[in-house]
Structure formats: structure tokens, C-alpha cells
């Protein structure tokens, strides 16, 4: 700040003999011509003010005390007088009335208190203004410190003196307010701020009077810095205890430092009075600051030091206090700064760019998997910034990962349970919030509770935010429904890992390899090109496909789904598998391969399988007028014809497009009201009879097969009872768990296998092998499902496995509930791996191979899984369970009427455990290397590249991580996956399970039976049937078109033998998945085709009476009895029909057995005894029994 001050060099003639001090002055400035120093006048003004006021306060207190004593004595005398006169009551009332009145002094005091307090806006402004002016006065002191300690000056010409005078007038007024508001005037007079005012305000007025300036004690204004933290709190800047403490320490340290430097500057530049000021030295203020710092730090270079006695005396005492303060304050300040959160800032939103908040379980593995999928190059223009919020700072590896993606990723330390942290990441403007779960935690329920609390906190802060959260346990999803602002129709989604994991595994029991195919479809994988003709080449070509959504062109309006599907596959090289259909009421639902009855509407959203998002644009840009003659799909671009202009208008109505398709989302499986030829509305007589409204065959939603609840004792098998029961074509679930294990939710595994789009005779029997204590805990959710049995034991016991005929099962599933209780990641899957290797090393008798090849199986009454008749399906014949010598899981095959399927062998050793189809659940991806001893997978190979995963024999929950990003970009993807995997679980069903924790039976009405009309996944064999001609060297595209046109079957992949390309006689029986092969892909007879198959209402007519006559599980030696109330006439007719079919079945079985030579085949007596017993119980065939027994 420039100073408008005239400075003159002192006249050498002017010399003060007494003090020998020269005071600069100007002739036009009235000053002492003798150069007499007047520092004592400035100091005296401050001292008189301080001690004078102190004396007045003490005198006032003394007089007040004496007056109070006198009044007290007089009051006692008057009280005695009032008691004697008897008029005390009236006088007392007057005194109380006078006491209740508030005096003007009290009012003024209250007003002054409000003015100086920070409780009101005026008070806060005044306090901040006083602090700012104090800092301004300190700055003026810094400027004046470069001048002599005392000098002559003119108030009207010195600008800094005028400003300082104005500041001090304000300080004086503020001092008056503080004095009035003070309750204890004595303590107020001795406060630090009051002392600062005493020694800084009066000298300014003396300066004006004497026309001279004395630097004096103005450095005391630095003590005002102590209040810096209070000011910042008033302004709501400091909120945390650490920040307040840090500012307090810094302000105390700096104010003490500056104040002490000011005192040294004063005495060193003035000198000692008793030395006639002759021992002074010229030190600037900042040199004094430097001196005190090196003194406090005990360094003491000696280049600057105190010469005056006052200065040295002060340094002695300052070293004692300053050293202690330096040694305690500085380390604490450094510690607070060091502990300050590195990631404690706030997110700054960028205009035109969305951001999402990711929280929950933030680790290197979870973040790397998330970013790898979210930021994949195949995604179409990902202009989204990812903000991670976690209460623990990232380690070095995770920090390096964030730095590699610094353009799109930011990390902030905090908790979503803290509203302040939610404000820091701008959750109110975020496009969505994603919550990751710890899949490997020891207590899944506790982890789900934590995530639910995160959802509650976020929804409480901003109810409209879209939340996608991972849940570990299915039953915990119900708690999300209790949150008022949770709305799945607006995009909120809960990805239940247990539900989807077990659903994927269950679908693999129906079509092995499907879990691998679906997992690859919603995961972003880069295309890896392999030139060699190996199975990896074809597998990786399929892995490059993902699932996308896009609006269909207006050129498709009015066409049926099969026509559009064929056009997209042949012309556009896209695979359309489902659409989002909007009803007249505005509700939308996802229809998978709906069939001919659905006609396309304007603005229909399609679900495609393609390699990247750009390819899917062809479905939007396609124009029949412009692109009909184009053969290269890459040339299909946006055209400008009239049809395209209409398409642009339609697209403009949906600006968010496939990114978000919320709005009126309907439940996944609810059918819209569309024109269709519903078979239930044109029922035949047999179909009408089967629709008995008095019998509950399905749950209340019509989505699942249902039976009355059964006690667990009725479904328990002992080892001997299981051995007497010749199980075949069933599903064996080997499960590890005990009383303390967390429940994995086995219901999610059983529900897809009990979907109502299967007929009752098509349901595979499920046998659980495991700890009875654990299964009792799970049974509460399983007791309403038919065809379920339990063998108490252990999956590591070969005797238990042989008892359930594991070599004849369609699928063996290995699960564990103990995986997350082990800290060592390599040992988490030890039980599942040991069980898998144990089964593969088992050897079995080959005598039952003919039974298996007969494709009928052999199960006791009450567990009949098929009847000998063939059911007409679309005019053809369906063999519902074709189990060949290759031990293929259940395959749906179309054959010519009257033609029996041959027994095909793919050179597999049926006597070995390696022939058993199984799928093993893994927690740690790297443990997949231990499942197959004959593969060459590297331990560091990603899971999707390993042979067990490609073959569909291993599944890890980590593959579900990709669903988080897939759901964010398109919430319909999760709906489609749920529809395919869960067998028909809907939000309505979840609400029902939340209320009762069990399925509720419902009567068979046309509305509930209509829900059975939905697609299901099946596998189509090519070695025989109507597609046999294409199976030997035909094109996959021809098969696709023929299946779609003839049977409305939508093919989407191949399950091929691993060594099929080698053309050798002894091929390996392992198969791998090929997703969406190209049109010209060559087929081989051993291929199995993944297809979406329409529900056939006529397939179960001839079996209805048999299949639904018994839903209860078998007991040890008794026939299963009916659990439904069936009319007498129907029961009689069905019993006769059943007896007739049983006779045919067992006659056929016995004819096969009589042909056996017991000396050549290893058929045990126990097996013969079982056959005998069943024959006697069924139709008392004594002669044949005697024949068998004698043999």
C-alpha cells in the first residue's frame, strides 16, 4: 500500500544531547523541534486506560458490595416491621410486580449480546467484520514496520494513519458493545482481546493529537488470529474435528510467533531506556520473525541475535515457552496434515457428461473387473465418468489402477451412510448409483444388510436416484421392497448373485453349457483371433458376441417375429431373440421368441446377439427400399428416404434409447394383451378335463409346478432304500454344508427345474446328497416342490453316490455352503474339487447301460418320469428324454412318427465316472485348473478361456460381475437374463415370497395356465430326425431357417464335441459352446443345438392323468399315494390307463432282462431283486419272476 507521506532526511545540526536520538520531522509538520521522544505518552495512554478502568470496576464492585450489605440489613428490619404491622401481603405483591419488570439496562445488555453473538446473521457479519479489520490493522503494522519506531507525521496527509484511525474507531465501538454485553465486567477487562484493544486503540488517538506516530504495541493485533477457527466455523467452512483442531493449532502458533517477533522488533530498534537508547540495532520485522523461528527450533545460527537487555531477557523466557510450543504443536500439526484424507475433496460435475457413483465392496479385484467390462471398447460411446466412494483409502495397486483410468475414474474417501459424503460426490445429479457386494464374505446376510443400509441412506438423501445393487441371498431382496422410494419400474434393480448363480447351474441341468453361453453373452469380451483349426478358435469367435438392444426399423412393422428374426439373421447378420412388446395400456413386457401371433409395432425394442453395438444399428437403419438388394451388411447405413424420416421421428421420441428403458416396465413374464390363438381358448375334451379347478397343480402365479407341503421325513432315503430304487435320468445335487453354514438358497436351483412350461412327466427328479442338518434348514423353501428326495450323507462317500445311481443321472451338481469360511483362497473350493475328482475316478457296472440306452429309465411308481407312448408335437413325435451312450443330458429331439430313435454311441466308456455330466461351483477362479487333469490351462488364464468353463462343467460367481455394467446400460438385459434363467420369477412372485417365504398353491384357471405358454431352452440333436440331413455337413444357417419356419424354434448356439474337427474314431466326449455361429458354419452329426422352444400344450394330454396323480415323493417300501383330490370317475379311468401303461413298460423291461446272461454281464442279485419286487407290486408276474430268480 503506497503511503502519502513526506519523508525528510534529518538535519545533522539537530542533535539531542540528552538522549542522543534523532527523530525525523518536517518543518511543515508541527512536531517537537528538539527531537524529544514521546513514546511514554503513547504507552501512558494505554496504561492509564487499562488501570483506570480496572480501578473503576473494582471501586464499583466495592461500593455495590457495601450497598448490598446495607440494604440487606435494612431489609431485615423492614421485614420485622411488616410482620408486626400485618400489611406484608400487599407490599409483597407490589415488590413482585416491580421485580417482574425488565429494566432498560437489561434490555440494552440483551441487545448488545445479540449483536456480538454469532447466533444471528447480524452477529455473524459483525464478528467476521471485526476479525477482517483486525487483520487489516495488522497488515498496516507490517507496512509501517519498515519505518522508524517513532516519527513525526500529519494525520491529514498520512493515508495509512487515516485508515488505521477508522479501524480503531470501529474497534472502540465494538469494545463498547462487548463491555455492555459482558456479565462479569472484571473478567472482560482482563481478556486477551480487551488487552489488545487497550494497547492499540488509545495510541492512535494520541498520534493524532501529537502529530507523531509510534509503532509501539500494534503488533498485538496478531493475537486476533487465535479466533480464526471460530470465524471459519461461523462461516460453515470447518465441519470436522480434525480440521478445527488443525486450524486452532496453526493459528495459535502463528499468532504467538508474530506477536513475539513484534516485541523483539520494538525493543531492538528502540534500545534500553536505561542505556539512553544507545544500544539499539536496526532490525526489520521479518528479520525478527526469522530470529524467533531459529530460536524456537533450537538451531540458533547466530547471524541475527538480540543486543538489548530487554530483548535478551524476553528471549530467555520465550525460549522456555516457545520451545515447548514448537516441540508439541509442530509434530501434531504435521500429523494432522499427514492424516488428512488424500481423497477428501468434492466431485466437480462436467457439463454434458454423466457420472455414476460406485460404492460398497471396493477392492482391486472388484474394481478391475467392473472397469474392464464398463469401459470396454465394444460399448457404444461410453461418455460416463465413474466416481468411486469408499471409506478406506485405496492401496498402491488400486491407486495405480485409478491413475491408469484417470480420465474417466475418480476416487473419494467417504461413506454413503454420511449425507455430507453423498453431497461431495453429487449424488443428486448422478445418473445412477451402483453398489458392489463382497461375494467372498463369511456372513452373506450381514453383507446384504450393509448394502441395504446403503440403499436406505442413498434413497433417503435423494429418492429419485437410480440404484443397482448386488445382493448375495435371495431372501434378503424382500427387504428392499420395504424402502418406500424403491421402484423397479424406474430402473432400480437388485442383482441377486445366489439366484442367478443357481439359476445358471439349474439351466445347465436342462441344456449343459447354457451357463457358459449366457455368461459370455452379457460379458464384454474382446475378439481373440486364432488361425489354427482348434476348438478354441470356434469358441472364441462365439465369446466375442454380446447382448445388445436396439429399436427396430419401421420397415419391420406388421411382420411376425419369425419373419423378422430370419430377415435379421440372413440379411443383417444379427440374431434377434426377444422383443419388448407394449400393450394398448402402455405397459411393456419382454417376450422371448414369441412366435407367429405377435406382429411388430412401431418403436419396438429388440434384443440382439452381436459382436458390437455398431452392428446392431443395422436393425434401426434398415430400409426395404434402399437396402433390399444389398448383400454386404456393412453397407447398411442410415438413408434419407421417406421411410427413414419417419424412423427419425420415432427415434426422437426416445432420446435415451437403449441406455435406459424404464418408464412402464412390466414384470418379465406377464403377457401383454395381444391377439393370439391361445390353445387354452380352443381346448379339446381331454384338455378341458385336465384343467380341474379343484386341484392345485401350480403355484398361484402359474409359473411353477406345486404340491402340498411335505414333511422332510417323507422324502428322506436311506442308503439301502436309495439302492433299491433304480433312479435314472435324474439330477444329483451334491451339497456341502452343516448347521453353521450360511444358506445358499437351494430354492433358486429347484425353481427353474420346476417351471410350469415343462409338463409334469418332463420334470427331472432331484436327489440331494448332503448333511441332513443343513438340508433341514433349506427344506422350508423346498417342501412345495414335487419330485424331490434327500439322501443324508456326504458327497465324498462313494457308497452314497452309488446308492443314488450317479452314473445314470442326467446331471450332477456340486455345491458348497462352506466356501467363504476359509481365509486361504486356494482352499475355498477344496470340497467341490475333491468331490468332482472323486466322482470322475469311480468305476461302474455296465449292465444298466441298456436301460439307459432304452431312453425310458426305470423308476418306481410315483416317480414315473415318462410313459412309453410318444406324444404328438406339431404332427411329429417327441421323445421327452433321450439319453444316448454319450450320456448327453436331456435332449429334446424331433423324430418322424413311428420311428424309434437308435442308440448312438460316441465311443465313451460308460463304466467310468468321467462319463458323468457334472457342473461344479467355484469361488476362486484360479481353482478351475484343478478340475480337469488332462487340460493344458495355464493357472493365470482368465476363467472364460479355460476348458472347464468353455465346456460348461465349471461355473464361478465372478462371471456375474459383468451384470452390473450391463444392467446400467440397459436394464432390459437383466430382465431377459432373469426370464431365461429363473424359469419365471417375477417381481410379483418376489413380493409373495417376501410375505410367506414359500410358494402358494393356486387353482388351474385359464389365466394361470396361460402363463405356461412361454419359451424354454432345449438342446436339439442332429444325428436323427427331421434335421438329420443337415447334421452331416449342412450349414448352420439352413438349420436356423428350417427350425424357425417349421417349428418356431430359435437356434442360437452349438454344443460341439471338443475333437469333432479332428475326424478321429476315438473322440473325447467333452463338449464346448459355440455362440451364434455364422450362416455358413458346417455342422457335424454329433452336434447339439441350443434352441428356444415353444411350449406345446398337446404334449402332456395323454400323460396328464398319470403325471398329476402323484406329486409326493416316494418312501422306502410303499407306493406313492396321490396328494390331490381327483373326481372318482377320472381316478378310475386314470388308474386303468396307468395299469395298462405300467404293464407295457415292465413287460418291455423284463423282455430286455430275460435276454441278459448273468454270467456275461455283471448284474447283481440286488438289482434282480429290485426288478422282481417292482414287478410283483405292479402286476404280480409270478412266472416271469420265477424265471428271473432261477437264472
CB under 8 A, 24+ apart: contacts of 1134-1139:
1134/1105, 1134/1106, 1134/1109, 1137/1105, 1137/1106, 1138/1105, 1138/1106, 1138/1109, 1139/1179
Domain assignment of residue 53, yes or no:
yes
Q: What is the pLDDT of residue 628?
A: 73
- pLDDT-derived band at 83 (thresholds 50, 70, 90) equals low
pLDDT of 839 > 90? The answer is: yes
Sign of the CA dihedral running 1020, 1024, 1025, 1029: positive
Residue span of the structural domain in which 1183 resides: 1138-1190
Domain assignment of residue 7, yes or no:
yes
412 bridge partner residues: 389
H or E element that contains 1088: strand 1088-1093
Q: What is the pLDDT of residue 662?
A: 40
pLDDT of 1105 > 60? The answer is: no
- Mean pLDDT score, 521-543: 83
* Tens-place pLDDT, residues 721-772: 888 888 889 999 999 998 888 889 999 999 999 999 898 989 999 999 999 9
- 178, 208, 237 — which closes off a domain? 237
* Tens-place pLDDT, residues 1107-1149: 333 333 333 333 333 223 333 333 344 344 444 444 444 444 4
- Neighbouring CB atoms inside 10 A of 645's CB total 12
Domain assignment of residue 1180, yes or no:
yes
Q: What is the pLDDT of residue 798?
A: 92
Do residues 225 and 367 share a domain?
Answer: no
Please tell me the distance from the alpha carbon of residue 108 to that of residue 1166, in angstroms, as a whole number: 109
| Of the candidates 452, 475, 539, 511, the residue with the CA atom closest to the CA atom of residue 946 | 539
- Top mean pLDDT of 559-573, 856-870, 888-902, 930-944 is at 559-573
pLDDT of 613 > 70? The answer is: yes
Which residues touch 1108 (CB under 8 Å, ≥6 apart)? 690, 695, 697, 760, 1124
pLDDT of 1158 > 70? The answer is: no
Q: Which of 238-252, 408-422, 877-891 has the lowest mean pLDDT?
A: 877-891
Domain assignment of residue 83, yes or no:
yes
Please tell me the distance from the alpha carbon of residue 872 to that of residue 855, in angstroms, as a whole number: 17
Total number of residues shown for the chain: 1191
Q: What is the pLDDT of residue 98?
A: 46
More confident residue, 664 or 282: 282
2 bridge partner residues: none
More confident residue, 968 or 1104: 968
- Mean pLDDT score, 766-790: 93
Q: What is the pLDDT of residue 684?
A: 41
Strands 1050-1057 and 954-956, bridge-based pairing: unpaired
- pLDDT-derived band at 881 (thresholds 50, 70, 90) equals very low
Do residues 223 and 365 share a domain?
Answer: no
pLDDT of 411 > 60? The answer is: yes
Strands 1088-1093 and 1050-1057, bridge-based pairing: antiparallel
Q: What is the pLDDT of residue 32?
A: 57
Domain assignment of residue 460, yes or no:
yes
* Tens-place pLDDT, residues 278-290: 888 888 999 999 9
Are 974 and 963 contacting, i.e. CB atoms less than 8 angstroms apart?
yes
Q: What is the pLDDT of residue 943?
A: 86
Q: What is the dihedral of CA 1165, 1170, 1173, 1176, to 10 degrees?
A: -100
Q: What is the pLDDT of residue 909?
A: 53
**Strand blocks (E) in 361-500:** 384-390, 409-413, 432-436, 467-471, 493-496
Please tell me the distance from the alpha carbon of residue 373 to that of residue 434, in angstroms, as a whole number: 14
- pLDDT-derived band at 464 (thresholds 50, 70, 90) equals very high
Q: What is the pLDDT of residue 1067?
A: 65
pLDDT of 429 > 90? The answer is: yes
| Of the candidates 913, 929, 920, 926, the residue with the CA atom closest to the CA atom of residue 954 | 920
pLDDT of 9 > 50? The answer is: no
- 422, 455, 486 — which closes off a domain? 486
Q: What is the pLDDT of residue 799?
A: 92
3 state DSSP class of 936: coil
Domain assignment of residue 64, yes or no:
yes
Taking CA atoms, 413 is separated from 246, 347, 405, 457, 1176, in Å, by: 19, 11, 17, 17, 75
Q: What is the pLDDT of residue 873?
A: 31
Residue 468: CATH number of its domain: 3.40.50.720
Are 165 and 213 contacting, i.e. CB atoms less than 8 angstroms apart?
no
Are 390 and 362 contacting, i.e. CB atoms less than 8 angstroms apart?
yes
Rounded to two decimals, the pTM is 0.70
More confident residue, 76 or 449: 449
- Mean pLDDT score, 65-85: 74
Taking CA atoms, 1174 is separated from 725, 770, 852, 857, 1145, in Å, by: 10, 28, 18, 14, 12
Domain assignment of residue 631, yes or no:
no
Q: Domain count of the chain? A: 3
- pLDDT-derived band at 105 (thresholds 50, 70, 90) equals confident
Domain assignment of residue 1115, yes or no:
no
- pLDDT-derived band at 103 (thresholds 50, 70, 90) equals low
In the chain, the N- to C-terminal Cα span, in Å, equals: 122
Please tell me the distance from the alpha carbon of residue 732 to that of residue 801, in angstroms, as a whole number: 9
Are 973 and 522 contacting, i.e. CB atoms less than 8 angstroms apart?
yes
* DSSP structure string for 345-392: S---PPTT-EEEEEEES--HHHHHHHHHHHT-TTSS---EEEEEEESS
HSE-CB at 523 with a 13 A cutoff on CA atoms is 26
Residue with cell 461344479: 920
Please tell me the distance from the alpha carbon of residue 427 to that of residue 421, in angstroms, as a whole number: 9
- 237, 265, 295 — which closes off a domain? 237
Residue with cell 487515516: 162
Q: Which of 112-121, 174-183, 675-684, 1009-1018 has the lowest mean pLDDT?
A: 675-684
Are 195 and 50 contacting, i.e. CB atoms less than 8 angstroms apart?
yes
Please tell me the distance from the alpha carbon of residue 537 to that of residue 1077, in angstroms, as a whole number: 12
Residue with cell 493524532: 208
- pLDDT-derived band at 1100 (thresholds 50, 70, 90) equals low
Do residues 57 and 197 share a domain?
Answer: yes
Q: Which of 144-153, 358-367, 458-467 has the lowest mean pLDDT?
A: 144-153
- Mean pLDDT score, 823-827: 74
pLDDT of 118 > 90? The answer is: no
Q: What is the pLDDT of residue 1042?
A: 93
* Tens-place pLDDT, residues 157-205: 878 888 888 998 999 998 988 888 888 888 889 888 898 989 889 998 8
Taking CA atoms, 993 is separated from 344, 729, 979, in Å, by: 42, 30, 17
Q: pLDDT > 70: what percent of the chain?
A: 75
Query: Considering the chain, what is the average pLDDT of its residues?
Result: 77
Amino acid at each position: 500500500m503506497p503511503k502519502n507521506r513526506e519523508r525528510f532526511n534529518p538535519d545533522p545540526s539537530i542533535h539531542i544531547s540528552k538522549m542522543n536520538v534523532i527523530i525525523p520531522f518536517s518543518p511543515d509538520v508541527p512536531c517537537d523541534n528538539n527531537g524529544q521522544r514521546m513514546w511514554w505518552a503513547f504507552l501512558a495512554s494505554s496504561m492509564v486506560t487499562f488501570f483506570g478502568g480496572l480501578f473503576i470496576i473494582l471501586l464499583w464492585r466495592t461500593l455495590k458490595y457495601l450497598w448490598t450489605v446495607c440494604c440487606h440489613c435494612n431489609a431485615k428490619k423492614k421485614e420485622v416491621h411488616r410482620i408486626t404491622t400485618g400489611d406484608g401481603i400487599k407490599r409483597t405483591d407490589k415488590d413482585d410486580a416491580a421485580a417482574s419488570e425488565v429494566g432498560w439496562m437489561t434490555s440494552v445488555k440483551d441487545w448488545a449480546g445479540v449483536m456480538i453473538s454469532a447466533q444471528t446473521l447480524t452477529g455473524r457479519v459483525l464478528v467476521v467484520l471485526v476479525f477482517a479489520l483486525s487483520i487489516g490493522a495488522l497488515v498496516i503494522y507490517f507496512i509501517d514496520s519498515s519505518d522508524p519506531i517513532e516519527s513525526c507525521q500529519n494525520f491529514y496527509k498520512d493515508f495509512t494513519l487515516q485508515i488505521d484511525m477508522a479501524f480503531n474507531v470501529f474497534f472502540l465501538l465494538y469494545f463498547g458493545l462487548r463491555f455492555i454485553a459482558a456479565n462479569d465486567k472484571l473478567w472482560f477487562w482482563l481478556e486477551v482481546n480487551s488487552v489488545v484493544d487497550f494497547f492499540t486503540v488509545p495510541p492512535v488517538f494520541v498520534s493524532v493529537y501529537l502529530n507523531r506516530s509510534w509503532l509501539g504495541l500494534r503488533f498485538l493485533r496478531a493475537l486476533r488470529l487465535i479466533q480464526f477457527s471460530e470465524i471459519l466455523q461461523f462461516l460453515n467452512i470447518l465441519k470436522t474435528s480434525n480440521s478445527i483442531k488443525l486450524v486452532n493449532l496453526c493459528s495459535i502458533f502463528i499468532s504467538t510467533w508474530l506477536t513475539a517477533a513484534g516485541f523483539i522488533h520494538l525493543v531492538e530498534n528502540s534500545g534500553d531506556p536505561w542505556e539512553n537508547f544507545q544500544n539499539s540495532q536496526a532490525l526489520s520485522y521479518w528479520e525478527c520473525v526469522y530470529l524467533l523461528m531459529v530460536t524456537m527450533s533450537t538451531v540458533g545460527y547466530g547471524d541475527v541475535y538480540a543486543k538489548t537487555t530487554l530483548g535478551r531477557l524476553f528471549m530467555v523466557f520465550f525460549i522456555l515457552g516457545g520451545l515447548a510450543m514448537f516441540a508439541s504443536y509442530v509434530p501434531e500439526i504435521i500429523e494432522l496434515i499427514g492424516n488428512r484424507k488424500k481423497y477428501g475433496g468434492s466431485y466437480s460435475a462436467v457439463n454434458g457428461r454423466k457420472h455414476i457413483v460406485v460404492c460398497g465392496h471396493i477392492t482391486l479385484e472388484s474394481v478391475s473387473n467392473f472397469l474392464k467390462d464398463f469401459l470396454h471398447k465394444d460399448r457404444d460411446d461410453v461418455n460416463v465418468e465413474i466416481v468411486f466412494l469408499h471409506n478406506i483409502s485405496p492401496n498402491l495397486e488400486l491407486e495405480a489402477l485409478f491413475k491408469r483410468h484417470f480420465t474417466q475414474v475418480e476416487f473419494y474417501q467417504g461413506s454413503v451412510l454420511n449425507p455430507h459424503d453423498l453431497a461431495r460426490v453429487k449424488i443428486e445429479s448422478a445418473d445412477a448409483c451402483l453398489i458392489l457386494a463382497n461375494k467372498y464374505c463369511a456372513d452373506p446376510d450381514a453383507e446384504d444388510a450393509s448394502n441395504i443400509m446403503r440403499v436406505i441412506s442413498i434413497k433417503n438423501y435423494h429418492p429419485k436416484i437410480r440404484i443397482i445393487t448386488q445382493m448375495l441371498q435371495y431372501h434378503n431382496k424382500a427387504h428392499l421392497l420395504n424402502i418406500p422410494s424403491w421402484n423397479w419400474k424406474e430402473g432400480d434393480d437388485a442383482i441377486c448373485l445366489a439366484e442367478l448363480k443357481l439359476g445358471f447351474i439349474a439351466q445347465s441341468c436342462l441344456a449343459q453349457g447354457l451357463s457358459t453361453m449366457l455368461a459370455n453373452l452379457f460379458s464384454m469380451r474382446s475378439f481373440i483371433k486364432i488361425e489354427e483349426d482348434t476348438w478354441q478358435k470356434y469358441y472364441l469367435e462365439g465369446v466375442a458376441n454380446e447382448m445388445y438392444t436396439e429399436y427396430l426399423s419401421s420397415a419391420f412393422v406388421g411382420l411376425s417375429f419369425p419373419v423378422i428374426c430370419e430377415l435379421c439373421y440372413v440379411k443383417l447378420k444379427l440374431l434377434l431373440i426377444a422383443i419388448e412388446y407394449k400393450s394398448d395400456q402402455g405397459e411393456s413386457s419382454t417376450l422371448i421368441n414369441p412366435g407367429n401371433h405377435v406382429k411388430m409395432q412401431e418403436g419396438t425394442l429388440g434384443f440382439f446377439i452381436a459382436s458390437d453395438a455398431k452392428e446392431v444399428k443395422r436393425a434401426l437403419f434398415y430400409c426395404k427400399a434402399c437396402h433390399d438388394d444389398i448383400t454386404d451388411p456393412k453397407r447398411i447405413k442410415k438413408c434419407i428416404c421417406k421411410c427413414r424420416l419417419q424412423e427419425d421421428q420415432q427415434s426422437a421420441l426416445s432420446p435415451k434409447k437403449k441406455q435406459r428403458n424404464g418408464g412402464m416396465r412390466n414384470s418379465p413374464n406377464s403377457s401383454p394383451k395381444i391377439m393370439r390363438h391361445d390353445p387354452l381358448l380352443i381346448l379339446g375334451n381331454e384338455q378341458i378335463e385336465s384343467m380341474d379347478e379343484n386341484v392345485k397343480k401350480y403355484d398361484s402365479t402359474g409359473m411353477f409346478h406345486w404340491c402340498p407341503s411335505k414333511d422332510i421325513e417323507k422324502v428322506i432315503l436311506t442308503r439301502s432304500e436309495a439302492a433299491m430304487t433304480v433312479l435314472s435320468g435324474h439330477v444329483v445335487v451334491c451339497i456341502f454344508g452343516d448347521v453353521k453354514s450360511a444358506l445358499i438358497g437351494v430354492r433358486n436351483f429347484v425353481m427353474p427345474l420346476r417351471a410350469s412350461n415343462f409338463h409334469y412327466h418332463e420334470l427331472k427328479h432331484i436327489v440331494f446328497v448332503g448333511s441332513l442338518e443343513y438340508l433341514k434348514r433349506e427344506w422350508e423353501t423346498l417342501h412345495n416342490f414335487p419330485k424331490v428326495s434327500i439322501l443324508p450323507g456326504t458327497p465324498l462317500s462313494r457308497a452314497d453316490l452309488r446308492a443314488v445311481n450317479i452314473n445314470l443321472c442326467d446331471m450332477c451338481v456340486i455345491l458348497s455352503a462352506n466356501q467363504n469360511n476359509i481365509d486361504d483362497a486356494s482352499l475355498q473350493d477344496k470340497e467341490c474339487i475333491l468331490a468332482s475328482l472323486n466322482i470322475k475316478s469311480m468305476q461302474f457296472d455296465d449292465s444298466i447301460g441298456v436301460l439307459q440306452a432304452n431312453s425310458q429309465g426305470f423308476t418306481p411308481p410315483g416317480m414315473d418320469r415318462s410313459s412309453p407312448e410318444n406324444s404328438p408335437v406339431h404332427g411329429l413325435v417327441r421323445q421327452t428324454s433321450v439319453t444316448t451312450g454319450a450320456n448327453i443330458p436331456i435332449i429334446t429331439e424331433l423324430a418322424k412318427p413311428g420311428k424309434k430313435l437308435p442308440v448312438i454311441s460316441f465311443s465313451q466308456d460308460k463304466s467310468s465316472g468321467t462319463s458323468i455330466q457334472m457342473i461344479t461351483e467355484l469361488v476362486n477362479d484360479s481353482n478351475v485348473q484343478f478340475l480337469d487333469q488332462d487340460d493344458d490351462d495355464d493357472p493365470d488364464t482368465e476363467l472364460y478361456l479355460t476348458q472347464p468353463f468353455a465346456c460348461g462343467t465349471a461355473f464361478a460367481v465372478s462371471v456375474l460381475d459383468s451384470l452390473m455394467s450391463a444392467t446400467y446400460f440397459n436394464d432390459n438385459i437383466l430382465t431377459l437374463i432373469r426370464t431365461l434363467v429363473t424359469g419365471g420369477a417375477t417381481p410379483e412372485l418376489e413380493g409373495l415370497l417376501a410375505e410367506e417365504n414359500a410358494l402358494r398353491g393356486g387353482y388351474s384357471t385359464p389365466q394361470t395356465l396361460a402363463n405356461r405358454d412361454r419359451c424354454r431352452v432345449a438342446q436339439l440333436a442332429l444325428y436323427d430326425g427331421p434335421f438329420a440331413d443337415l447334421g452331416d455337413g449342412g450349414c448352420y444357417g439352413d438349420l436356423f431357417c428350417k427350425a424357425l419356419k417349421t417349428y418356431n424354434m430359435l437356434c442360437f448356439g452349438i454344443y460341439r464335441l471338443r475333437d469333432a474337427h479332428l475326424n478321429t474314431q476315438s473322440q473325447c466326449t467333452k463338449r464346448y459352446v459355440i455362440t451364434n455361429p455364422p450362416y455358413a458354419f458346417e455342422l457335424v452329426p454329433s452336434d447339439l443345438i441350443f434352441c428356444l422352444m415353444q411350449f406345446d400344450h398337446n404334449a402332456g394330454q395323454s400323460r396328464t392323468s398319470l403325471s398329476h396323480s402323484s406329486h409326493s415323493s416316494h418312501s422306502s417300501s410303499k407306493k406313492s399315494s396321490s396328494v390331490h383330490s381327483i373326481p372318482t370317475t377320472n381316478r378310475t379311468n386314470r388308474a386303468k390307463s396307468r395299469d395298462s401303461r405300467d404293464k407295457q413298460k415292465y413287460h418291455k423291461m423284463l423282455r430286455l432282462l430275460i435276454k441278459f446272461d448273468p454270467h456275461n454281464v455283471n448284474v447283481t442279485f440286488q438289482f434282480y431283486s429290485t426288478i422282481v419286487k417292482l414287478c410283483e407290486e405292479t402286476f404280480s408276474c409270478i412266472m416271469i419272476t420265477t424265471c428271473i430268480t432261477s437264472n
